[in-house]
A and B are shown apart, each in its own frame.
Chain A
Amino acid sequence: MFDQSISTLAAQLRNKDISSVELTRYFLDRITKLDPQLNSYITLSEDVALKQAAHADTQIQNGNASLLTGIPIAHKDLFCTAGTLTTCGSKMLNNFVPPYESTVTSRLQNAGAVMLGKTNMDEFAMGSSNENSYYGAVKNPWNLDTVPGGSSGGSAAAVAAGLAIAATGTDTGGSIRQPASFCGITGLKPTYGRVSRFGMIAYASSLDQAGPMAKSAEDCAHLMQAMAGFDDKDSTSSETPNDDYLSNLNAPLSGLKIGLPKEYFGEGLDAGVADVIMAAVKEFENLGAEVKEISLPNLNLSIPSYYVIAPSEASSNLSRFDGVRFGHRCEDPKDLLDMYMRSRAEGFGQEVQKRIMVGTYALSEGYYDAYYLKAQKIRRLIKQDFTNALQEVDVIMGPVAPTTAFGLGSKTNDPVAMYLEDIYTLSVNLAGIPAMSIPAGFANKMPVGLQIMGNYFAEAKLLNVAHQYQQNTDWHRQTPDMAKGA
Chain B
Amino acid sequence: MHCEGREGMKELQYDVLVIGAGAAGLAAALEVSRNNASCALVERESHLGGILIQCIHNGFGLEEYKEELTGPEFAERQVQAVRAADVDIFTDTTVTQLNAENDRKEAYCYSAVYGVLRISVRAVILAMGCRERNRGNIRTPGTRPAGVYTAGLAQRLVNIEGYIPGQDVVIVGSGDIGLIMARRMTWVGAKVHAVIEIQPYPSGLTRNIVQCLNDFDIPLYLSHVVSRIEGKQRVEKVQVSPLTNGIPDEENSFEIPCDTLLLSVGLIPENELSKEAGMEINPQTNGALVDATMMTSIDGVFSCGNVLHVHDLADWVAEEARRAGAYAVRYLRNERPKRQIRIKAGANVRYINPAMFDPDNPDKLYFRSLIVKNQAKLQIKLDHKPVKEVRLSHVQPSEMLHVKLKPKDVAGWNIMKDSVLEVSIE
Q: Do A and B make up one complex?
A: no
Binding site for A on B (CB under 8 A): none
Chain A interfacial positions (CB closer than 8 Å to B): none
